[in-house]
Amino acid sequence: MAGASLRVVFAGTPDFAVPCLAACRAAGVEVVAVYTQPDRPAGRGRKLAASPVKDAALAAGLPVEQPVSFKADADRATLAAYAPDLMVVVAYGLILPRKVLAIPRLGCWNVHASLLPRWRGAAPIQRAILAGDAESGVDLMQMEAGLDTGPVLIERRTPITADDTGGSLHDRLAALGAEALAEGLRRTLAGETLVARPQAGDGVAYAHKLDKAEAHLDFSLPAIELERKVRAFDPWPVAEAEVAGERLRIWSARAVERPADATPGAVIAASRDGVDVACAEGALRLLAVQRDGGRRIGIADYLNARPELRRSSP
């Protein structure tokens, strides 16, 4: 295939997929169509909104397809009519049946935001932070019928730092995914057949979809677990907790030591350095919060609104 063109159908939906679409366009392949989820109601007005990938595709003048599924023969026929050599799938949001996987001559590639087989599934970025993983990464995978079970073509790794949030790790992995995809496309265009490495049989973990109910902080748990939850759930769904009789969204916090006799859930210190809430092990120091109906504020501004907390601190 050296010197030949490559007809690519791209399938993706959220912001995470946009750098990969840009990588396809920059790689010299022919992006013949972009598939993305149907427009969904969004915002306070619940008006239909296009996905980030659709916006990027339309801005680039690319054809856009938005089937609800690929169950209908007509939808599969539309895909086949594009005569793709390869389909690149990045956080598309639909499970592709075997009949779809078989349409492109070179099959389907997927960019997945974890080091497989750990964190197969919908929310690998947040699950890695929640679990306290030291490392994450992206895998360029040859797709098969199972959920994220295909062999790995290219891998990129990155450490998870103590300051990483769901948002910061998301952005870093999106860039790494685009790099891995660009390498795969470049090597394929040069005539190379990428070697697919089967995933290990052990170490499998599933990254289940995030639920807003998970965002509640239970101070009967160790502080380090709650710190990870605060970081993982920034920017969505955002951790929340009852603190001194008030429901707060917790945007930034860190685990610290606490007195041995403190009751979990009690505010044990409050100063410009933070508001410390006792946990089963250690304390969670709140650094940035959001009150009902308010905006995100630093802890000093919060204490200005609740000076009684500062006065009651030991």
Per the annotation, binding residues for (6S)-5,6,7,8-tetrahydrofolate are 114-117
One-letter amino acid for residue 155 of the chain: E
Both tokens of 253, joined, read: 């916090």
Q: Which residues are annotated as a binding site?
A: 114-117
* Nearest alpha carbon to residue 53 among 96, 4, 92, 1: 92
In three-state form (DSSP H/G/I as H, E/B as E, the rest C), the secondary structure along the chain is: CCCCCCEEEEEECCHHHHHHHHHHHHCCCEEEEEECCCCEEECCCCEEECCHHHHHHHHCCCCEECCCCCCCHHHHHHHHHCCCCEEEEECCCCCCCHHHHCCCCCCEEEEECCCCCCCEECCHHHHHHHCCCCEEEEEEEECCCCCCCCCEEEEEEEECCCCCCHHHHHHHHHHHHHHHHHHHHHHHHCCCCCCCECCCCCCCCEECCCCHHHHECCCCCCHHHHHHHHHHCCCCCCEEEEECCEEEEEEEEEEECCCCCCCCCCEEEEECCEEEEECCCCEEEEEEEEECCCCEEEHHHHHHHCHHHHHHCC
